[in-house]
């Protein structure tokens, strides 16, 4: 395991090696995200934090990688990005909500990704459950893993947000977009360091909202969710369903009204927005 640039929990990430710019990453005093560990390369920031959780890492530990060799999305799909080409970041959360409300953590980070992107002039929407889109192209993906670490519940949630276009050989390139691709021509190219603090600050605010007023957070998620009121196809573990997405319930399930009028609550599945016929 390569050492992080910074191992001092109270200071934020420090400049080191070939990482110009990281010295300006400082989280506010009192932030729950004070232990930010930045790596030149990791196989997966999610995997790293799952292992660290088993070693007793605290709530709010953050891992950022300039490059991932085995980054994965949902259903174990590969996430390709060139060095510094995406924000690749995971957060360890010791959840303060019951398991049937863990979706609040995903909702909090999805909203944070949207809000951080907006601060740079890009306005994404959410595709249920955890993709950020501009138009119909994917800007970011989120992957949450819930598990027990030494008998203590834990969630590791990661975000991969494209800063520059994916490599042309990537399977996802034709359906993806990036911050560079969505900002005016000539805009400065963003570095991961530019997005770390904004995403974490919004995530902290949103997670606090989830604890205090979960109904408000879910209302904000629904407002951003472009899947609602769309005809969709949802691929399940066995088969698929089609229908109109009518709501996201408080547990995070997508309610799909099929042509026979029956509503089905989908908790896990891959969603495709169908084009009007």
132 and 258 belong to one structural domain: no
Model pTM? Answer: 0.89
Q: Quote the tokens at residue 187.
A: 């805009």
Instruction: Please give the tally of structural domains in the chain.
Output: 2
Domain of 259 in residue numbering reads as 231-273
8, part of any domain:
no
The enclosing domain of 258 has a CATH number of 2.30.30.100
Strands across the sheet with 254-257, in order? 263-266, 254-257, 240-248, 231-235, 270-273
180 assigned to some structural domain: yes
Q: Which among 36, 27, 38 has a CA at the least distance from the CA of 5?
A: 38
Distance separating the N- and C-terminal Cα atoms of the chain: 52
Q: Is residue 15 part of a domain?
A: no
Which one of 183, 208, 224 terminates a domain? 224
Query: Domain with 53 in it: what CATH number?
Result: 3.30.930.10
Per-residue pLDDT in tens (0 to 9) along the chain, 277 residues: 444 433 333 334 433 333 546 756 778 888 999 899 999 999 999 999 999 999 999 999 999 999 998 755 555 555 566 889 999 999 999 999 999 999 999 999 999 999 999 999 999 999 999 999 999 999 999 999 999 988 899 999 999 999 999 877 677 778 899 999 999 999 999 999 999 999 999 999 999 999 999 999 999 999 999 999 999 999 998 899 999 999 999 999 999 999 999 999 999 999 999 987 6
pLDDT reported for residue 47:
96
Dihedral sign of CA atoms 218, 222, 225, 229 in order: positive
Pick from 143, 148, 146: which is nearest to 132 by CA?
A: 143
Same domain, 43 and 67: yes
Residue 243's pLDDT is 98
pLDDT computed for residue 82 by the predictor: 85
- Decide if 9 is inside a domain: no
- Please state, in angstroms and rounded to a whole number, the distance separating the CA atoms of residues 16 and 101: 39
């Amino acid at each position: 395991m390569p050492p992080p640039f910074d191992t001092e929990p109270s200071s934020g990430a420090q400049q080191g090696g070939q990482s110009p710019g990281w010295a300006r990453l400082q989280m506010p005093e009192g932030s729950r995200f004070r232990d930010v560990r930045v790596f030149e390369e990791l196989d997966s920031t999610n995997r790293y934090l799952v292992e660290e959780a088993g070693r007793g890492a605290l709530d709010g530990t953050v891992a950022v990688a300039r490059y991932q060799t085995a980054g994965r999305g949902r259903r174990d799909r590969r996430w390709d990005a060139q060095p510094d080409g995406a924000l690749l970041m995971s957060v360890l959360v010791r959840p303060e909500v019951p398991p049937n409300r863990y979706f609040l953590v995903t909702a909090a980070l999805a909203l944070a990704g949207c809000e951080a992107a907006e601060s740079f002039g890009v306005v994404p929407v959410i595709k249920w459950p955890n993709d950020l889109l501009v138009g119909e192209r994917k800007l970011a993906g989120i992957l949450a893993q819930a598990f027990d670490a030494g008998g203590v519940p834990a969630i590791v949630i990661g975000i991969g947000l494209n800063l520059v276009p994916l490599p042309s050989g990537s399977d996802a390139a034709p359906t993806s977009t990036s911050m560079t691709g969505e900002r005016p021509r000539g805009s400065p190219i963003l570095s991961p360091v530019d997005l770390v603090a904004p995403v974490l600050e919004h995530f902290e605010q949103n997670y606090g909202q989830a604890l205090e007023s979960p109904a408000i957070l879910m209302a904000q998620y629904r407002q951003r969710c472009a899947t609602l009121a769309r005809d969709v196809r949802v691929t399940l573990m066995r088969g698929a369903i089609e229908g109109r997405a009518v709501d996201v319930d408080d547990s995070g399930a997508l309610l799909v009204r099929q042509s026979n009028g029956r509503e089905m609550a989908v908790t896990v599945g891959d969603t495709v927005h169908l084009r009007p016929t």
